[in-house]
Structure 1
Amino acid sequence: MLELKKGEDILATVGGIEDIDQARELFSRTIDADNQQKLAAIKNEEALVKIANAIAMCKPDNVFVNTGSAADVQWIKEYSLSKGEEKKLAKEGHTIHFDLPQDQARLVKQTFYIVNENEKMSSLAKTVPRKEAKEYVQQFMPGIMTGKTLIVGFYSRGPVGANAAIPAIEISSSGYVLHSAELLYRNCFSDFDAEVERCGLFFTNLHSEGDNTSEDVPNARIFMDRSWLTTFATFCTYAGNTLLLKKGNHRFSVDYATYYKVEEQLAEHMFITGLTGPGGRKTFFAGAAPSGCGKTTTAMVGSDFIGDDLAQFWIDEQGILRAINPEKGIFGIVEDVNREGDPHLMDCLRGEGTEVIWSNVLIKDGVPYWVGNGETSPESGVNFQGEWFKGKTDEAGNPVPMSHKNSRCTLVASAIANHATELSEDPKGVPVKVITYSGRDSDTMPPVWVARNSDNGVAIGASIVSKATATEVGATGVNRQPWANAPFIPGALADYMKAQFTFFNSTRFSDGNRPIIAGLNYFLTHENRGGEGSGLLGEKRDVKVWLGWLELYAHGDVEGIETPIGIVPKYDDLAKLFATINKEYPKALYDMQFAIYVDKIIARIDLQTEAYSKEADIPSTLFEVYDGQKKELLGLKEKFGPVVQIDNLA
């Protein structure tokens, strides 16, 4: 069980501010009159003491309070430009930010949960004892903002007033971080006190880049104090490490849902999007996929895009699953973003009128370029590691691409043509009918399948596998990626899994409103399905077909074929959907994609069974699902052989 406010509050100990009187006395000495007047609007004393301790510890030259006003946001942009954290590009409203070469993605080996003694943690979580974390903070953070300005902003992770939205404070000496926060999150300065009172807690995030040198990066740390809902980040600027409103606070939200909101809420690493079905009906999907596995592409396919990364869920009083996006913008990978696969996003990136922060792409004459953009690219320019030219190699002789694989664009989601802005900002959330899970699987699972029931659905989420991606520094190989949320699950996996089984089996769902749960896989290759060559069996535009079939299935408009792993589509139904995107769908391709490769699936089940058997207290339901599927698969193999054609099951 997670116990809040257990153990020593490191920020308070190192900062030394114990009460509101001491905080106000510090403010009178360190904050100018204008910013004191702005801060006076915040009445929550716990929040004010947190801010005071950040000032006392970090010792900035100045303090700036961001109320979210146009003037304050403009000040932040100009501050970032003046420090050189961003530079203007040729297009109005576009800037470029370069992270250090060693700080291009999440620093997984330098990211830790601060833990108390005897706390149950996920076996996939890196932890640091509270005493050791305090020693680091005492060594490296006092005075880390000397010569800089501490900026504090107040944000809501979700539409203000939404059931699962949680307010948060972002404190940083980086203008880039606060500029990004303004694009990605809802400034709730005027609602902060009321929101804290409504939900009973808030998150605190404290970051400083220090001198921002490559020599400092080995000393960088990203700490999440799960007991005190406080994050610390030092000596880095990559937003995944520093804008801790994002993944740092997502971790806290997962914890909170797992231990304090069982059967009430979930916090997931999922897109949210709506698809328009027959008669104009809107059906909303939420789906998990590790980075590089098509999550943003899937979200953008929808006619009513809500979000591409995070989702907060609850079951409303009518028994309907509801979801909000805690973010209002996207921090998206740009590699392979092009007109063919991502036309709406490209309109924002190449058109006029959208504010965009680019990171770690190639810049030539003030124009950004990136790998896979589908355009003619320059032979030279400047990127995150300095001057670049075609054919450049690194010290090991490897080609240096013109843009980093984890290059990003940051923009407000409402700029995207298919974004359902009004729904996205509605605190009631959107009703979710379909949950999907997908990984990067070249040889085992079909493109789409539906779980027979909620228990089997939870097992699909628990069984995601994927290759390591460029979002994680130091990660390699093929990894298990439970729910695509495992890097963000602080507590024991068993506790998280129990919360999943409890939530999706809840009797709170009203008739017809329990979501269907499905698996997606876009990465089957010809060579692994009896064909020739290493190319994919599908392409980006096929995603609309797989989602389209799920939309029809969720409403009972089509039926499927029962298999041991779940329900798969019938050929005729898919052929009709492919026709709507002006594409032929040969029966031979369907047979390749949906054949049941028994031995491969059993090997996958055995892999997961072995891994979860090493975890304490995993619910027996998971192993019962695996055992049931394996038994049925072996029965199919005995009857039809190791590769079962789908027609044999129709």
Structure 2
Amino acid sequence: MVLVNNNSSSIMETKSVVQSVVYDINSALKAQEAAERESTVAPVAKPTCVYGNLDALSSKIRAFVNESVNLVKPAKIHVCDGSEREIRDLLNVMQQAGMIEFLPKYRNCYLAKTDPADVARVESKTFIISPNRRDTIPNTLPGIKGTLGNWMSMEDLKEAVHDRFPGCMAGRTMYVIPFSMGPVGSPLSKIGIELTDSPYVVASMRVMTRMGSNVLKALGDGDFVKCLHSVGCPLPTSRKLINNWPCNPEKVIVTHVPETNEILSFGSGYGGNS
């Protein structure tokens, strides 16, 4: 969907406010880190890249990764290449964690038992961010809720991000997923970079999209859709996991910001929500 707004000042205001979300959070985090240095509490160590090469990524991707790392504080970073070796390793990781189990009577088939509260249908928690409500959903009479989507203001987005994302990947691995919606290199395809702390999402993206090193080659130093996702369950976890399925169903939210080509998803481990 393409949103057109003839009010150029509104567009500039939108971009300014959206960009300030990460800026405001990072400013707060810098102040927190300064306070930590002055106290006896040691600051959080920088994450180690355990798979792939961060330095081989374009400057735009590295900037996106660095900004997100400062916000969500992962323990490790894994740059996905889409290889067979990688998916085998991830399946082993999930099996050892009890997230999935192999079904031996079928070929390459695994069973995932999720938390019953982490469901596929989250339309009521999915929002489009725009400067004006009418840019996203039709105007309705007072007291009547439309059925063609949900709108969220910039201020509400900032509040939602502040409430959920700081430190949400603590103890977990951040996976950097280069993906293409459509054939790699096609002028009709859309390339994105997703950052997630869920190996199940990596496996799902491998099925739903074209993902891996060939996408990075096609992208070069071009622009991309920025996608940030977290199951919202930092380690050590303070909640009891159902079926060993990390999620935070009480705080699930999926937001789209067309003006800046950004997607932020929090709380769900289900592949389609992530």
Fold shared per TM-score above 0.5: yes
Report if the CA contact (8 A) 2:46-2:75 is conserved.
no
In the other structure, the counterpart of 1:156 is 180
TM-score, normalisation: structure 1: 0.33
How far does the alpha carbon of each residue in 1:99-155 deviate from its partner, in whole angstroms, 9 at most, with x for none? 322222221111111222466223312011111111111111111111211111111
Taking only aligned residues, the RMSD between alpha carbons, in angstroms, comes to 2.7
Amino acid at match of 1:6: K
Taking the aligned partners of 2:130 and 2:109, their CA distance within structure 1 comes to 41
Q: Which amino acid aligns with 2:100?
A: E
> What's 1:208 paired with?
230
Match of 1:168 among 178, 183, 192: 192
| Residue type of the alignment partner of 1:58 | V
TM-score under structure 2 normalisation? 0.73
CA contact (8 A) 2:184 2:214 kept: no
Q: How far off is 1:12 after superposition?
A: 4.8
Query: In the alignment, what sits opposite 2:68?
Result: 54
Q: How does 1:101-250 map to 2 (within 5 A)?
A: 101-117=116-132, 120-123=135-138, 124-192=148-216, 194-195=218-219, 201-211=223-233, 216-242=248-274
Match of 1:6 in 2: 15
Contact 1:61 1:145 in 2 (8 A): yes
1:3-33 alpha-carbon deviations (Å, 9 max, x no partner): 597232234543459xxxxxxxxxx93223x
Q: How many residues align?
A: 227
Structure 1 match to 2:100: 86
Counterpart secondary structure, 2:46: helix
Distance 2:24 2:80 in 1: 26
**Structure 1 range deviating more: 230-239 or 172-181:** 230-239
CA contact (8 A) 2:75 2:169 kept: yes
The residue type paired with residue 102 of structure 2 is K
Equivalent of 2:88 in 50, 53, 74: 74
Q: Write out aligned runs for 1:273-288 (5 A).
A: none
Q: 2 CA distance for matches of 1:15 and 1:151?
A: 21
Secondary structure of 1:183's match? helix
Q: Flag the 1:6–1:193 CA change in 2: closer, same or farther, 3 A.
A: farther
Distance across 2 between alignment mates of 1:142 and 1:176: 22
Specify the code of the residue in structure 2 equivalent to 1:234.
Answer: F
Q: Distance in 2 between matches of 1:94 and 1:184?
A: 16
Aligned-partner Cα distance in 1 for 2:197–2:15: 28
* Shift in alpha-carbon separation, 1:230–1:13, aligned structure 2, 3 A: farther
Counterpart residue identity of residue 272, structure 2: G
Offset at 1:196? Answer: 5.6
Between structure 1 and structure 2, the one with the greater Rg is 1
| Counterparts in 2 of 1:238 and 1:193: CA distance versus 1, 3 Å | same
Question: Where does structure 1 lack aligned partners over 5 or more consecutive residues?
Answer: 18-27, 243-650
SS at match of 2:166: coil
Q: Which residue of 1 aligns with 2:48?
A: 31
SS at match of 2:135: coil
Q: Is the 8 A contact 1:80 1:176 kept in 2?
A: yes
Asked whether the 8 Å contact 1:65–1:153 carries over to 2, the reply is yes
Q: Where in structure 2 are there 5+ consecutive unaligned residues?
A: 6-10, 29-44, 139-147, 234-238
Task: Note the C-alpha offset of 1:169.
Answer: 0.9
Provide, for residues 347-403 of structure 1, a one-character-per-residue CA deviation record: whole Å limited to 9, x for no partner.
xxxxxxxxxxxxxxxxxxxxxxxxxxxxxxxxxxxxxxxxxxxxxxxxxxxxxxxxx
After superposition, give the CA deviation of every residue in 1:446-465 in whole Å (9 maximum; x if it has no partner): xxxxxxxxxxxxxxxxxxxx
CA distance, structure 2, for counterparts of residue 70 and residue 16 of structure 1:
40
Matched-pair contact (CA < 8 Å) for 1:158–1:166: yes
Residue aligned with 2:249, SS = helix
Opposite residue 125 of structure 1, the aligned amino acid is G
CA distance in 1, matches of 2:26, 2:85: 30
What amino acid sits opposite 1:182 in the alignment?
Answer: R
CA shift for structure 1 position 170? 1.7
1:56 to 1:184, Cα distance in 2 relative to 1, 3 A:
same
* Equivalent residue letter for 2:25: V
- In structure 2, the residue corresponding to 1:150 is in which secondary structure? strand
Alignment check: 8 A CA contact 2:127 2:149 kept: yes
